Structure formats: structure tokens, C-alpha cells
Structure 1
Amino acid sequence: MRRFAFAALALLMLPPALAQTPHPDLAEADITTLQQQLRRGSTSSVALTQGYLDRIAAIDDAGPRLDAVIELNPDALADAKKLDEERKTGKLRGPLHGIPVLLKDNIDALPMVNSAGSLALASHRPKTDAFLVQRLRDAGAVILGKTNLSEWANFRSTRSSSGWSSRGGQTRNPYALDRSPCGSSAGTGSAIAAGLAVVGIGTETDGSIICPSAVAGLVGLKPTVGLVSRSGIIPISASQDTAGPMTRSVRDAAILLSAISARDADDQADALPGRPTTSPDYIKALRHGALKGARVGVLRDAEGKQPAVDTAYTRALAALKAQGATLVNVDIATAGQWDADEYSVLLYEFKDGLNRYLAASDAPVSSLAGLIDWNLANAYEAMPWFGQEIFEAAQAKGPLTEREYLEAKKKIRRLAGADGIDAVLKKHKLDALVAPAMSPAWLIDPINGDHFTFAGYGTAAVAGTPSLTVPMGDAQGLPLGIVFMGPAWSEARLLGFGYAFEQATKARKPPPFAPTVTPTNAR
């Protein structure tokens, strides 16, 4: 177990130069380049796996001390060796063969603990892999380990600090160590930005992939709910939960999505209409000219709230236009009207889904009520900074047959979907919408909790439709993302748009592991 004292933030020292960290060539390595090296024999899966383990030891455990990785897979090197042996015999499973991947610590993956960052589940070892983990293994990925997260995926307290968990401590942002990594997929975001693995998997209910990806200079894809299985993932919401890729490039996101997207008979997702009968080729969708002729709706609600974001967004829109897109200013008339009802739906679904997961997996605590009691009995360790008001509010809810739940669920999907994103797309004959993904990363504050100023991804989260964030610039060195949103099952199109934008702008910069933000005009 690793802990982080918030008081130590003021004592942070500059980290070693990046060139002095182990295997600097792996820091920004992508899947395609590594596969070329694997084919030539200039590296091996064992060497890659050991290289990333060395980087985790140097950067995450020592050095800048990101506390992004909460647990390592003890079988990682043995698994890599088997995949190298398969390669020697001519058996190749695909583009992920031999590639190290990190998973958020709310996903079942043998033989590791699955805890949602909670000390209450620190001994919880699931009996089987999650469906998506089995998909990754079948594709040849090496499961390197698990990443820290905002405890219970940021669904325990209204004053929580993103990236903090009682089991893993406080994850820090590699761009400025005193800044929030956002959440709840904080560890995955910081780890992939810092080059602690090639790619990672996060999960989202409302922003938990998009936000940490945006503030860590990553590409993050929240798929249509139901495209990626949720079986074996500690849940919040059956209506909105999904796993998705967090990567340093759009191409890597497409490769990873290709591996994990599949129908799962055990996942009872409320599937949106129009799912393709066959999986699209996400990699073929990556074209430099993908934006030519596209009609893109421009959401401007976030403008005027942060000058650096406005500047970056203006440049991003100019890049879209230069790539041949037609830009149309639009707004979502129903925006924000679903907030109270969404929260109610999440409370109902969290209680129901968590109770089901805990009971089915023989977890050491078998119910939400039991977790509340455990936290109270272990408050010194479990709740040193904030409480469990959300837990208590969820426990007070009844079953999913209650009228309040059924009406709220129907209402929010309509407001965000049919009357929201779908209505705007149809009215203006648009292919996608864009908005600034997120405000810049804020200072970590365990006393008051998170305090970001805006987010542009909420409509797609509530509607259950896909969203993709891509780096678009920075605010005094803090990364900023632009989010592309589209109708259900439009991941291939969004990836194509994101790829064309990424290749035209090349906005991503590697993290400096700075102790804090230093104004660029400082003298």
C-alpha cells in the first residue's frame, strides 16, 4: 500500500531529467512502432514489460512519485514470455500482441485485487477476468498492472479530491505535480501520460475518461454505452457506465477499441438503437482527410470562462476549418436540465449494481450498507479527508421498480439524447459536435475537494453516446483537450475526425514533471 501526505506537496523537489529515467525511448512509444520493433527482433515483449516496470519503479514509486499504479501483475513477465514464444512460432494475435496495458482498479483482472481504491476491498481477489480483460488477453496484450482511481470512481462524497483513494493515496498530474489528475480514471491518465505503459483502460460514468485524459494531454474515448462490456467492472450506473481507451495517440485508441469492443450476453446494457451488426474497422477510419466536407457543430457555452481555453479553442476551430470542415454555431437547448434527475438515477443504480457485484464476487464486504458501516468503523484510514454522503444517499433509495427512478431515467435520456444531442445533430445536419473538453487542471485540495470551472462532455455521458477528447493546446503548460461528440455508434467517424485534427495540430507535448506551474512570462 502506498500513501501520499498532502502536506508534502510544498516540499516537492524537481525530478531527475527525463533522459535519466529508465528507457526514455518507451515514454512516448506507440503500438505501431513497437510492433515494428517486435517484428524485427530488436525488442521483445519481455523487454518491453521489464522496461515499463523499470519506469514505474523510477517515476511512480520514486522520482516524481506519481502514485498512479496501485498494483503490479505478478504474472506480467511470465505472460510476456509466453507471447514471445508464440511470436517465434509464427502465431500473432494482432496489433496488441506483446503490448503492455494498464487497467483501472475497478476492473476484475486475475490474479490482482479489485478494490475501487477502497481499503474495504483491499483483499478482494475476483474469481475471473472481466469480459474486456479476457478480450485483451485474447488479443495478446500483457496486463501490466492496475491504476489508482478516485475512490469508488468519485461516487462516495460530494467533497472528494479526484485521484485520491484510501488504498492508493493521491495520484498526481505529471504536468504539474501539485495539480489534479482529474478522475475518476486518474491513475490511468497520469500513468499513460508519463509513459508507464503503452496504453491504458479507464472507465466513465460522466467524465471519468474524458476529464483525466484532457488534463493529462491524452486521447480518451468514451464509447457508446454497450459497445464495450461492463461485466466484471465495479459499477456506478447501468445506464451510463462504460470502459474505454486512454492513449497518447488516436491510432492507439482505435487499436485498443478494436480489441475490447464486442457483444457480451452477460452485460444487460440498455442498448441504444442502431448498433452495427458487424464491428466497424476503426483503424481504417483514420484518414488525414476525414474532416473534409464534415459538418461540425460548435458549442460555445464554455467560452469566456478561461482565456487560455478560449485561445486554444479558437485555434482548434481554425484547424478544423482548414481541414475542410464546415463549422456551425449551435447550442443544446436542454443542457443542464437533467442534472438533478441524473444524480437520482445514479444513486438508485449504484446501490442496485454495487450490491449485485459485491454479492456475486464474494467480496469481503457484501453490500453498500456493509461498506458504510466498514467506513465508519475505519474512519481514520478510510475517511481522513471527506465522508460518504453519496453512499448514504444511495443507501436511502429503494429498488429500481420505484416510479421516481423509472421516470427520472426516461427523462434524462430524452433530455440529453432525443431532445439534446440527437436533436441538434438532426436539425443542423451535423456529423459531430465539438466543445472544450475541460478546464485546466486545478490545484489538489483535499479540504475543499475539486474545483474545476467547466466541462464540455456531459451531454454525451447522459445520452449514452460516444465522445472523444484530443489534445488541442495548453494553459501555461497544463494540457487542454477538444471533445468530439456524435450519435450512438459513431466511434469510427469520431476517431477519423480526431485523427485528422491530431495530425494537423500535433498539440500533444510530453509531461515535464514540474513541481508546479511557472508562468511562461515569469522573469
Structure 2
Amino acid sequence: VRGPLHGIPVLLKDNIATADRMSTSAGSLALDGVRAVKDAHIVTLLRNAGAVIIGKTNLSEWANMRSTHSTSGWSGRGGQTKNPYALDRNTSGSSSGSGAAAAASLATLTVGTETDGSIVSPSSSCGIVGFKPTLGLLSRSGIIPIAHSQDTAGPMTRSVADAALMLAAMAGPDADDKASADSKDHLADYAAALRLDGLRGKRIGVARNFFGSNDAVDAIIEKELALLKAQGAILVDVKVPNVDKYNDSELQVLLYEFAPGLEAYLKNYAPHAPVKNMQDVIAFNEKNAAREMPYFKQEHLVAAAAKPGLDAREYREALANDLRYARDEGIDQVMKEHKLDALVAPTGGPAWLTDYINGDHYGGSFSTPAAVAGYPHITVPAGFTRGLPVGISFVGGAWSEAALIGMAYAYEQASKRRRAPVYPATINPKL
């Protein structure tokens, strides 16, 4: 027996490097067939734990950081990922294939990555558990990046228990990712956190300013709040402050960090790739527009390539703004003021019709505060509207993974809202 995941089949999002016969492409034809020269750090840990990497999953190309008008789940290399709960509906993204594959039981475990929403949103849309950990709990080495200030990998599974076991296998420091250095002081026994009484006595803030985007979703979550109380939680209505003060600065940070991060990845993990930097990718897409840009363009790639270096004042001010309002005067402030163990809200709206003309149609999202702060966020299936799954989110402060696992597990075991998909061509309100 090699480890706790011995013989367990795992699928990886196709932006996670593997030094085997599989390519690592971020969904781009520019990297089609390009094999990494070494495993990503989390892949090494998964292999050491005994996991069997059986394939890569499709994603929103470049982790949904290519266009201002993109359609989630589509990539030039992989085409369109479909939602198992209604095949004409979107999976959300950018970990689209990981979400669909977990929902469809194509593997026991899948891995996604998130910059903002890319784990929790497709998990909610596909009726599974998604866990975005604290920034630095998992190494990002060998993952095609968007932004080192927000990027992380995380489990996407059909149960909280599976997510906990997978998180334990992937967590820990890596000399090649300085953000992971602090993780060694915060590792926990995540399996031991799987307690049926994990909600008892917990003070949970209901983030009311993240309700109101969808009446049906709100009604589902209100019922689940009653279940949280029945399991011993103490609920407090709160407002997460200053959420409107970092929308613009978040995008600026992502644009500034994208190009240098991509160039470093290509140099260290794919030095033989035909593209060496963002400008090369842009030129490839223009040359191969019929295959790469049939539905949407590459505005974000162009904007990222035009940014100056990370010593630019605009970048430093944007990053400081993010951390001030998402952390210090955001999640930290509301949790301290109300003595909270976690925040809870709808993860987002139900899956929308895949639409190549108008792009994505998000129905609200609770992903951004935790994403910008770098704090943990777990979503658990909460119910269905017209046959489409929706999730409930638990968000905590830095390094609170074990506590969140306890709360999420207690809720999951009391609710048991997940049910397997049956792959209808379109929505069926009777399901």
C-alpha cells in the first residue's frame, strides 16, 4: 500500500503539469501536445499517496482569463464541457471538466484550480463539493497560473469526506512556492474534523448581501439555514463589508500577474513549447483564429501583455487595496465583530444555458471575498431548482480548513441533498 489514496483514480484539470504522456495545455491549442518536463508539486504528493492519475479534464481556456466575453467550459483544445444535470446548460468554470467529471462519477476524485470562483462555482453548478483552501496551503508549482496572489488548487469531489482526504494528501510546503512556507505550521488532521456535531455551538454569519440574485436559490438556502440551526449552529445576519471596493483592483492584479507568471511556467515546465510568452500565445491565436476564436476573442490576454512589470505603482496600489478591503476591512472585520466561526451564503445561481453569442450569465456569486482575501471556501450541495443543483458556501478566516470541514460535513450528513445526474438534454423540473 503506497498511501491513503492507494489505487484511487484521480482526474486533474488540464492546467496542472504531469511529467508523463499527457500534455498540459490550459485548453489552448498553442500548448496542444506539449508535455511538462516535471510533475506539479501537488501531483508528486498525490502519486506518493498512491493516487492513480488517469487523465486531464477540460477547462475554460486559460482558466477563463482569455476574453471579456467568454463562454465557460469551452476551450480550443477540448471544445464545450456539458453539465450532466442538463446537457444544454453550462458547467460554469473554469474547472468545468473537473466539476462535470466528478458529478458524472468519471473518477473518484478530481482536482480543480481557482483564482476567483473556478472551484466553487462549477462545483455548485454540478452538484458536488468544492474546496478552495487558504492561499499557500497547497503549492502552486507546476500549475499554469493566472495570478500568484489568488491562485490555488483544491479538491472537487462528491463528498466532504473525500475532499478532506484529498486535501490532506496535497497540503504542505514546497520550496518552489514561497507562499506555501507558512502551511507547515497550519496543517491539521482533516479526517478527524469529519464530525457529525461539527455545527454544534458554531457562530455562523449569514452574509445577507450575497442573497437576492435568484429567488429560487434564496428559498432553498433559507431552508438549509433552518437545518444549520437544528444542528446546533447559532446564526447571525451580517453584511460582508466593502465588497464593492476591490472589483476593479482585483482585475488589475490578475492582469499584471498573468503574463510574467505564464512566462515563468513555460520556462520551467515547458521550455520546448512553441510559445514562450503571452505575446506568442496572442500571435498563435490570431494565426489560428478559426479554431481558437470562433466564439470569443482574447481581450484579457492582450491587456495582460500590455501591462508593465510588477514594480509598477498601479499594481502595488491595487494589491494593497485588495488585501485591505477583502481581508482586514472585509472578512476579518465581520468575523471579529460578530465573533464568527464562518460565513454562509448561496454559492451562486443555477446553471445557465450555454450561450456563444452573449457569453456567461452568472446568477450571483459568493466567491470573490474569499478569493481576493486568499481565505478558505467550501461549497456543499444544498438542493435543486428545476432539476439544477445549487450549493451552500462556508467561508472562514485564514487556515480554518479543519473547522470548515467539520461544519460542512455536519451539514452534508444532515441534509444529504446531492443526487446523481441522469443527463437530460435540457432541464426537467420534475427531477
Distance 1:296 1:179 in 2: 32
For 2:113, the equivalent position in structure 1 comes to 203
Aligned-pair CA distance for 1:202: 0.2
- Does residue 1:509 correspond to 2:416, yes or no? no
Q: Is the 8 A contact 1:276 1:489 kept in 2?
A: no
- Does residue 1:172 correspond to 2:82, yes or no? yes
Aligned-pair CA distance for 1:278: 5.5
Aligned-pair CA distance for 1:144: 0.6
- Does residue 1:487 correspond to 2:390, yes or no? no
- Does residue 1:352 correspond to 2:231, yes or no? no
Gaps of 5+ in 2: none
Aligned-pair CA distance for 1:191: 0.5
For 1:114, the equivalent position in structure 2 comes to 24
Alignment-mate amino acid for residue 232 of structure 1: G
For 1:280, the equivalent position in structure 2 comes to 188
For 1:369, the equivalent position in structure 2 comes to 279
Distance 2:99 2:48 in 1: 24
Deviations 1:392-449 (A, max 9, x none): 1111100001111011101101100010001000000000000100100000001111
Aligned-pair CA distance for 1:279: 1.9
Distance 2:262 2:142 in 1: 11
The range that moved more, 180-189 or 275-284, is 275-284
For 1:151, the equivalent position in structure 2 comes to 61
Q: Which has the higher contact order (CA 8 A, sep 6+)?
A: 2
Identity of aligned residues (%): 57
Deviations 1:320-378 (A, max 9, x none): 10000000000012012100010000000001101111222212200101111111011
| Residues 278 and 237 (structure 1), Cα distance of their counterparts in 2 relative to 1, 3 Å cut | closer
State the secondary structure of the residue aligned to 2:185.
coil
Aligned equivalent of 1:334, options 239, 242, 252: 242
- Does residue 1:437 correspond to 2:347, yes or no? yes
TM-score (norm 1): 0.81
State the secondary structure of the residue aligned to 1:266.
coil
For 2:377, the equivalent position in structure 1 comes to 467
Aligned-pair CA distance for 1:270: 7.9
TM-score (norm 2): 0.98
Q: Is the 8 A contact 2:17 2:36 kept in 1?
A: yes
Q: How does 1:3-18 map to 2 (within 5 A)?
A: none
Distance 1:443 1:385 in 2: 15
The range that moved more, 134-143 or 358-367, is 358-367
Distance 1:247 1:104 in 2: 13
State the secondary structure of the residue aligned to 1:269.
helix
Distance 2:214 2:320 in 1: 34
The range that moved more, 296-305 or 181-190, is 296-305
TM superposition outliers: structure 1 runs of 4+ over 3 Å: none
Aligned equivalent of 2:230, options 322, 330, 334: 322
Aligned equivalent of 1:101, options 10, 29, 45: 10
State the secondary structure of the residue aligned to 2:201.
coil
Distance 2:235 2:44 in 1: 41
Q: Is the 8 A contact 2:120 2:347 kept in 1?
A: yes
Deviations 1:139-181 (A, max 9, x none): 0000010000000000000111000000000000000000000
State the secondary structure of the residue aligned to 2:209.
coil
Aligned-pair CA distance for 1:286: 0.7
Q: Is the 8 A contact 2:377 2:394 kept in 1?
A: yes
CA RMSD of aligned residues (A): 1.2
Deviations 1:186-222 (A, max 9, x none): 0000001001000100000000000000011100000
Deviations 1:256-311 (A, max 9, x none): 0000001001013287xx75626200000010001100000001223333221011
Distance 1:377 1:443 in 2: 30
Larger Rg: 1
